[in-house]
Amino acid sequence: MRNVEIIVDNFRIGGIQRLALDQAYALSSNGINVIITVLSLEPGKEVASFIPNEKALIENLNVKFVFIQGSKCRQFRRLFMHLKLRNPELIICHSLRGTVLIFLCKKLFKGKPRVVTTIHQLLSMSRPVQRVRRIFYSQFTDVLFAYSEAVKDDWNYRRKNNPFIWLISSRKKISVCRNGVFLPRIIFNQSGFSNSTSKIKRLVFVNRLTSWKGLPTALKIIQSKEFSDTSLLLVTPDDPNKYLVNVDPSVRGRISTVVGKSVSQIDFYPGDLHIYPASYGPSSRYIEAISINVLEMACFGVKSFVTKNGVDTWPELVKGEMIYEVDWSNAKSVISTILKNGTSAKVPEIDKARELVDVKNNLNKIFNAAGLDKFG
């Protein structure tokens, strides 16, 4: 049986962890033995994680986890013994620290797995020292990917304008490998959409509660008079109630919350619209507006409204009218765009979106870049 390893830094709820788990589901479904190695403690009950939320699916698809904690030396020793025992043909790495550890491990045992590393963050969002470290660590992989066009463009801009960064990043070129979703996890109720012309019934916000993810903007929209008959669903890893204390009680009654769960545990309906008002600041040169949550919503048949000038990675979803760009600083324009395009998506467009974002596409690109046979 073929062996594949997936490496992540931790397993809290987040986009990287979501992709890693969906990759593991797809690999296991195609007869590949897959283990997710996590370079930290197993999340406790107090930490939101996909592991308890998707326990049945994880067990049914026989996805295994190995948690390696401790100092870098201890992690290196344990990772070396683990990889030597498994001898995987491919390591899919979502950790730059893990990329360096694997490089050192490969020097010490005969097995030579191909290592494919994906960058999941804009360099502009890192401090200068951290930025240089991330670029340096990235050079220890065999294949280097960015998850979006914005990340790749930002990367190349930094190289072009900084001779030192150019020097330390000369070994590996970066290209784009788009994220994906394990479709069997996202059940699309086609019959509910087939004849639907539903108007807006509910706005949905699915994200962490960090300020740049845009919760204040979502609350501002739901408090506008145009959405006075609309409810808001907040799906977050942590309890959002402390952010709602200053919301008018009449509005608060229209806000419901789901804390620490996967979107596959939630029912979505015709008339739902997803808002993702991520803010990168006025000086941001590059923007990536399409998160994995946006891709998941498209698979459910839910349209998303995202930050303007950040959709270059997924132009097909914009053309298929599953995604709309808005300028969140212009409330009047945002509201107008949502109201104008708030009817339910059509089944053919939803089917196309699901085919497009299937995580199989992501994995086939990884396997091809690694010089391996198609995974399935």
**Percent helix, strand, coil in the chain (nearest 5)?**
45, 15, 40
Contact in structure between 102 and 8 (CB atoms under 8 Å) = no
pLDDT given at position 243: 85
pLDDT given at position 238: 86
Contact in structure between 136 and 78 (CB atoms under 8 Å) = no
| 80-91 pLDDT per residue, tens | 999 999 999 999
Low-confidence ranges of the chain (pLDDT < 50): none
Report how far Cα 288 is from the mean position of its chain's Cα atoms.
11
pTM of the model: 0.95
**Structural domains of the chain sorted by starting position, each given as residue range(s) with its CATH number in brackets:** 3-180+358-369 (3.40.50.2000), 184-356 (3.40.50.2000)
**Residues whose CB falls within 8 Å of the CB of residue 95, separated by 6 or more in sequence, listed in order:** 7, 8, 9, 39
pLDDT given at position 196: 58
